[in-house]
Structures are given as structure tokens and as C-alpha cells.
Chain A
Amino acid sequence: MTNLTDLTVAEIRDGVAGGDFSAREVASAFNVAVADARALNAYIVETPDHALAAADQADADRASGTLKPLSGVPLGMKDLFATQGVQTSAASKMLEGFKPEYESTVSGKLWDAGAGMLGKLNLDQFAMGSSNESSYFGSVISPWKGADGAQLTPGGSSGGSSAALAARLCPGATGTDTGGSIRQPAAYTGTAGIKPTYGRCSRWGVVAFASSLDQPGAMARTVKDNAILLEAMAGFDAKDATSLDLPVPNWEAALSGDLKGKKVGIPKEYRPDGLNTEIAALWDKGVAWLKDAGAEVVEVSLPHTKYALATYYIIAPAEASSNLARYDGVRYGLRNLPDGAGLQDMYAATRAEGFGDEVKRRILIGTYVLSAGFYDAYYTQAGKVRTLIQQDFMKAFEQCDVLLTPTAPSAAFPLGGNNADPLEMYLNDVFTVPASLAGLPAMSVPGGLSADGLPLGLQIIGRPLDEQGVLNAALALEERAGFTARAEKWW
């Protein structure tokens, strides 16, 4: 019999509907896999009962002919989404033990669509990081290993999601992407993930990092699964002031890898001197694959690309310093009240204990760039450069329909390998941050393996609201890359 944990979201959905297996069998198989893989540290909290309850409902719904779009599909939920009655920690000490009295809009939509929850997935603390090493609950360990057997990062911040998908601990997962937190982990683990247009998925109930950039999205092993999950997650929400009041397209039904008549742009600024030769070679393959799918390939220019990271590292910390002001030891989360301390001392002690080093660094940078005398030089200037970066994309999209780039500048790096200098870690996001600053839909799909046998990803960036164009180009890549490699089980 087929190993149920190897199935995709679509295969599980269709198999449950067709009676090939029960939803309970699927949920049970994943619950066993999750419990057996604690060495990876992908889940912070396991919720086998939630998965089984949704599965039993799915089996009952099948019997009564009332199946829903995701009936029988168990998912991993990034621990940045508030889940009612289940610890929502953002991988921080600050929120350890926090059990929301409410459900985030996105997770609620997934449960309403019939999905169940296997558990809460580990991440970088408050989603700040590119390697998952800033989690208060310990690093996630990638199921992939380096050539020398070294333990690798699964990427970040959605590293629990990417590791769990690669290790078959869930068929699909949620992620959130602020500067690349869905796409980079997907690239590092041989999985696929899509960040939709800013505003497609509600941010309500998602622990806030940088609100003008944060966007929930889907992660899975195939493009089709991403389309299925995103359809269930997206949609207008009056509780999010930046939610887009637009109908959700039927992305799965319109999937097509035929790119005849489409133009693919190759931004020349994404090929800097010293670009990793394996990454450059994979990019060239991607160009050939899209041509084979019928697309015309054109070179485009995004002249302000080199300023994107610096822009991001002003805007994101500035917004974070404001958003994280809510953690005050009064309303929820940790409180540290030294003997005889007053209110101000309690705030300072609570925040010193509850935040990790990287979170503190970003709050301090954000506070500094927003402080009197510096605001215009840093924050206003970054806002203007952000406008220029977006205008670059809009000009490029006059010449093409989607852009093709690498997702990350290298394959996954060893845990602990990039920690000496915070700035080095930031450079991982060089190819993903520009699309985030412009609010554009973007997706990473596996393209192949490095010489060391590690997954490498390709990124498609689309016009605002053109998730379909992104998914279709990604599908064309997926069909030609034929990526079937998986990490050998050692955990």
C-alpha cells in the first residue's frame, strides 16, 4: 500500500473523496510521522487530536456527501498564526504559554475548508531570521544533510514548515513572508511556496512583524498543492484594514504550464559579479525550460535592486519596533517584575527577558531610525527608495508578464555557519526582498540539486494580483525540472 505520508494535498483530497483510504488513516499516519521526527524540532506543539477530529468529520462528510475543499487534509500551522486554545508563541519566550481566545482568519478558513491541524510549526523568533536559529525553542534541523554530514538550516523564518514538508511530516503548511520567509526556506528544502500579492490573505490573528510587508502564504511540495491551499487561505477580511476586497480566483482550475504568448523577464541586476556558479547554471536551465514551455525570454532592468536590502532593513525594523511595543508584561505574555520595581522597570525587565538577541537588535535599530532627528534621513528616505523599487518592477512588467530569478544566493548553509555577523545573514534575502517591498506575488519551486546534493530553488515574480501567472510559470518549471529528490531518513 502507498505510504500515505508521501501523498500530496491533491492526492489526499481526491483519495479521501474517492474512498481509496479514510481521512482518519491519513491523519493517523501523519501523527505517527510527527511524533517520530522530534529530532528535527519542526513542531513546537503537536495537536494529533485536532487532526483526528477533522479527519473524523471528513469521513462523516464523505458518507453524507458534504465534503469540503480540504476535507481529510491535515496541515502544519506556522506558530505565528493564532489558534484558539493552542499555544501561539511566535517561537518566543515572550509568548510561551499564550493560548489565544480567538482563531486567526487564515487558520479559521483552512479549518472551515475541512483541513485539520497536526501541530504548530517552529520558526525564527517573531519571524525575524533566515535560518530558524533565533527560535526560543531551538533551531529546526533540516532533513537534508551536508556532504560532510553537517546539520543544515531549513531556512527561515518558515523553517519548521519547510523541514516538515521535506520530511513528510505534513502534506501542506502555512507560512508567512516578510522578506522571503516562505520562498527561501522552500528553496533550501526542495519544496514549493507562494507569497501572494500583499492583501490577498488576511493578517488578522497573525503575530505582527512588519505590517506593510507581512503576508501569509502557502507551502507544499507541488505547485498544484500551493494553488489549492492558497485558494482556501485567501479572501477579503473586514478585520484587516489592508485586506483586498476582491474575489478569490479559481487558481487550481486555471493551472496551465503552457506559456505560449507569455514573456518572461530576466533582471540583469540579479546576476552580480561573483554569483555562485551553480545558482547561475540553474538559472540558465530555468530560462531554457520556460522557452521550452513556449515563453519568449527578454532581458529587463531593475536598477534599484542593489538598494532593496538596505531599504528593507530600515522599514522592517522600524515597523517591528512599533508592533512589538505591545509586549509590555501587562495584557498577555511574559511579565518580569523585579522586587520593588515600578511600571517602567517592569516593562524594561520583561522585554529584556522575553526577547531574543536578534529581536532586540531589530527593535533597537527600528527605534533608532524612527527617533527624533533621524526619521527623515532613514525612514522617509527608505520609503522613497521603496517607491523607486516598485516603479522599477512596474516598468519591467511593461515588457514582460513574469520575472525569473534564483530564490537564494546559495544552497542551505550549516547551522551556526552564518551567525558571527548579523549582516551576513541578512544577505540571504537579496533575491526575495525586492518583491516583498513591492507587494508582488512570488513563488519558489525546486529546480535541481547542487554538487553537494542539496536542493536549489527558482523564483517567479508576477504582477500585482497575477498569482495565476506566477503559478503557471512555476508549473512549467516544475514539469521540466522533474525534481524527485528527497532527504534520506536519519531522524
Chain B
Amino acid sequence: MSVDSSTVKKVASLARIAVTDADAEKLVPELNSIIGWVEQLGEVDVTGVEPMTAVIPNTLRLRDDVVNADPQTGGGIRDKVLANAPQAEHGFFAVPKVIE
């Protein structure tokens, strides 16, 4: 499989990264070199092999279903949540107009 300039632009659009035509042209050989190289994995016989989901066996835990079970990840810290926002107004994140 190899990518061309229009595929690079489509992938960049999916990744929400603006690229110029010149950027896309430069990325084509770089990405093709990497993609061509990782395709060697296709030659490995993986019959009956499950893809890895957990590198060390572990069980998922459930915390108590209460507000603020852990104060550090709980609520009531609006100002802290907004402290690093590029733009915050009236206790909310502010973004450009979304709906006309």
C-alpha cells in the first residue's frame, strides 16, 4: 500500500492537522517509507493468535459509584479545570461560533 498527496491530505484532515500542498508533497515519501517498512509484518503467520489487549494480566476495577470518590478526579473544581483554557468566559470554555 502506498499513499499519494491526496491521501495524505485526507488523513491530515481526519487528524485535524492543517497541511499545505507543499507539506503534503514532503510527507508523501516520508510516510511511504515508514508504511512500506511496517508492511513486513504481513509475512508473519498469525494463525490462531489473538491480538494483545493487556501486556500484564490485570483486572478492571470499579470505584464506588459516588460523587467525589476521589477528590482529585471528582467535581467542584470548575476554576481549576478552566485555569489553563485559552479562552474561558462565564465559567465555560469559549469556542468560535459552531451553529449559524
Contact = CB atoms under 8 A, between A and B. Distances in A.
How would you classify the secondary structure of chain B's contact residues: helix, strand, loop or mixed? loop
Nearest to A372: B14
A346 B56 CA distance: 39
Contacts of B14: 367, 371
B49 A388 contact: yes
A101, A314, A345, A374, most chain B CB atoms within 10 A? A101
B22 interface: no
B64 to A, nearest CB: 11
B11 A371 contact: yes
Given A380-B51, A390-B55, A364 B37 contact: no
Interface string B22-55: 0000010011011101111110101001111111
Interface residues of A, number: 74
Given A311-B41, A333-B86, A355 B95 contact: no
Contact of B72 (A239, A337, A360, A386): A239
A471 interface: no
Interface in A230-260: 238-239, 241-242, 244-245
Interface string A438-457: 11000000000000000000
Contacts of A199: 56, 58
A348 B33 CA distance: 25
B56 A464 contact: yes
A372 to B, nearest CB: 10
Contact of A367 (B15, B40, B51, B96): B15
A116 B40 CA distance: 47
Contacts of A288: none
A17 B31 CA distance: 55
A241 to B, nearest CB: 7
A342 B56 contact: no
Given A388-B46, A439-B55, A307 B11 contact: no
B46 A384 contact: yes
Nearest to A376: B51
Contact of A383 (B3, B30, B52, B96): B52
A489 interface: no
Given A238-B61, A239-B72, A244-B56, A344 B16 contact: yes
Contacts of A397: none
B70 A351 contact: no
Nearest to B87: A335
A186 B76 CA distance: 43
Contact of A390 (B15, B18, B52): B52
A197 B14 CA distance: 34
Contact of A101 (B13, B27, B54, B80): B80
B17, B42, B97, most chain A CB atoms within 10 A? B17
Nearest to A351: B17
A422 interface: yes
B49 A342 contact: no
B92 to A, nearest CB: 11
A223 to B, nearest CB: 23
Contacts of A421: 33
A86 to B, nearest CB: 13
A438 B70 CA distance: 31
A157 B95 CA distance: 34
A361 B56 contact: no
B36 to A, nearest CB: 9
B31, B56, B58, B80, most chain A CB atoms within 10 A? B56
A333 B86 CA distance: 7
A179 to B, nearest CB: 13
Interface of A: 98-102, 197-199, 212-213, 238-239, 241-242, 244-245, 304, 307, 310-311, 313-314, 321, 325, 328-335, 337, 341-349, 351-352, 355, 360-361, 363-365, 367-369, 371, 374, 377-378, 380-388, 390, 421-423, 437-439, 464
Given A245-B61, A310-B41, A364-B17, 6 more contacts: A311-B41, A337-B96, A342-B98, A355-B17, A390-B52, A421-B33
15 contacts: A98-B84, A313-B38, A331-B85, A337-B96, A349-B18, A351-B17, A364-B27, A364-B31, A367-B11, A368-B7, A368-B31, A381-B41, A382-B38, A383-B53, A421-B33
